[in-house]
Structure 1
Amino acid sequence: MAFLEVKNVKKVYTTRFGTNKVEALKNVNFTAEKGEYLAIMGESGSGKTTLLNVLASIDKASSGKIILNGKEMDTIKDKELAQFRREHLGFVFQDFNLLDSFTLGENICLPLVLAGKKYPQIEPQLQEVARKVNITELLGKYPYEVSGGQKQRAAVCRAIITRPELILADEPTGALDSRSSNELLDAFENIHQSGQTIVMVTHSTAAAARAGRVLFIKDGEIYHQIYRGDMTNDMMYKKISDTLTLLLEQNGREI
């Protein structure tokens, strides 16, 4: 059995007065194995962020099933969703979502504090995740005292400190310069090598080239994928670029 299974997932939004319906996801099917690093690419409006929100249980599919490690997510009661997310999922957002009144260390520890953990339990985990993304020396600083890349690495630490089954990242390099993006992607690679499962939505070819597999979504459907195999990052980058160029020629517009 696959670690993550997405079966015939559809998502339909209805306008306020029910006059129009928008089918954001049409018939999405894919699986991911435990420890896989998966990137999802597509043009704006293709449905990739909707798909990520459904995977995150932030939004509910109109039909179909999402199964995470044998657990059907649509069977989770609304009152249990927050706890499920905290215990099983980690989130990395484009805009960091850090609290300016907390140090980076305090921001990172927040999920464990909310879960009722005590400081002696939290401190070893904080040091462990900080080492993974190379921000140990920044834990006492506040978000306004560090760079965007350092804030994003702190956000990654916050996502992994609960040791979640699945990391979901929404355009994690979108607000970063190229150097900060590379540092963040190096951090993701270290986390992945430790066995973490990652699903990342991105517009960035450089970011997607770090993944083990890339899914392309268009008009709410998965229609192409690339497996890394034995390709290097450079080879993967070229393969993705060539695919995007071909799709551009087919569509007559940018991806």
Structure 2
Amino acid sequence: MSLLRVNNLKKIYSSRFGGNKVKALNNITFSVEEGEYVAIMGESGSGKTTLLNILATLDKQTSGEIYLNEENILKVKESKLSEFRRNNLGFVFQDFNLLDTFSVKDNIFLPLVLSKIDYKEMEKRIKPLAKRLNIENLLEKYPYEISGGQKQRTAVCRALITRPKLILADEPTGALDSKSSEQLLNIFSDINNSGQTILMVTHSARAASTAKRVLFIKDGEVFHQIYKGNMRDDEMYEKILDTLTVLHRGGE
């Protein structure tokens, strides 16, 4: 069953007085099945970050439709958007987006506090997640006291604790060293194998090779896609590099 459906999505940016117009997205159409792990790739300026921001309800489309679990998210009232995000979406960002004045535990609890979840329920949820992500000994520390990899695992815990329908990840390995990146990608594969749906924007072919499908965006359109099937990560990696070479040559 399709968890996410994107139909004919367009985004046009206009200058203040309507003179210059830039088409960031042009008739983007795709779907994501429940339990899928999809990576989105493309050159800088291809529209992939704009797409992610619209899916996250942080930006508005010019036209088109987006359905999450058969609900048209573009028709959610402005006053309900924050609640919609907390109830349905989990976010993992390149720069972690943690609050230095909050402990690791309080950063993880923040979306639940905003949703007015009972404290006992918060404690019940965090214990297995913290253990799974190997941060159970860091919960009383502050973000400035832990490593980049630990910060990103904290961010993943914060995303998962709300039990979202969909995790949106924006360059999640971008600020990590190779070892921390590998650990994070293993975590993503693990949580996907347990049923969590993930949509990840990345520049990294290595990161994308761990996904089950890769969508390539070029000039605001879906240019190509690769299904992993029975391929190993290294085979998927080579296939991604081949596609990126064609992409950079302008599709010739």
What is aligned with 1:132? 132
Aligned partner of 2:162 in structure 1 is: 162
8 A Cα contact 2:218 2:247, kept in partner = no
Q: Give the SS at the match of 1:67.
A: strand
Q: Distance in 1 between matches of 2:237 and 2:198?
A: 19
Residue 220 of structure 1 corresponds to which residue in structure 2?
220
The percent of aligned pairs where both chains have the same amino acid is: 62
Gaps of 5+ in 2: none
1:17 matched to which residue of 2?
17
For residues 48 and 248 of structure 2, the distance between their equivalents in structure 1, rounded to whole angstroms, comes to 18
Correspondence 1:35 to 2:35:
yes
- Normalising to structure 1: TM-score of the pair? 0.96
Q: Which moved more, 1:212-221 or 1:117-126?
A: 117-126
Q: Is the 8 A contact 2:209 2:233 kept in 1?
A: yes
Q: Which is further off, 243-252 or 81-90?
A: 243-252
RMSD of aligned C-alpha atoms? Answer: 1.2
What is the TM-score normalised by the length of structure 2? Answer: 0.97
Q: Is the 8 A contact 1:40 1:199 kept in 2?
A: yes
Q: Which amino acid aligns with 2:183?
A: E
Task: Give me the whole-angstrom Cα distance separating, in 1, the residues matched to 2:11 and 2:250.
Answer: 26
Structure 1 consecutive aligned stretches of length 4 or more whose deviation exceeds 4 Å: none
Q: Write the letter of the residue equivalent to 1:26.
A: N
Match in the other structure for 1:247? 247
- Is the 8 Å Cα contact of residues 37 and 213 (structure 1) preserved in structure 2? yes
Residues 43 and 218 in structure 2, CA contact (< 8 A), matched pair in contact too: yes
* Counterpart position of 1:149: 149
**What does the per-residue CA deviation read over 1:120-153, in whole Å, with 9 as the maximum and x for residues that have no partner?**
1100111122123221111111111111111011
Residue 140 of structure 1 aligns to a residue in which SS?
A: coil
Q: How many residues align?
A: 252
* Pairing 1:102–2:102 present: yes
The amino acid of 1:168's aligned partner reads: L
Superposition deviation, residue 89 in structure 1: 0.5
- 2:58 corresponds to: 58
The 2-side partners of 1:223 and 1:247 are apart by: 8
Find the aligned partners of 1:97 and 1:238 in 2 and give their Cα distance.
Answer: 32
Q: Kindly indicate whether residue 107 of structure 2 is the aligned counterpart of residue 117 of structure 1.
A: no
- In the alignment, the residues of structure 2 paired with residue 41 and residue 226 of structure 1 have an alpha-carbon distance, to the nearest angstrom, of 11
Is the Cα contact below 8 Å between 2:39 and 2:199 reproduced in 1? yes
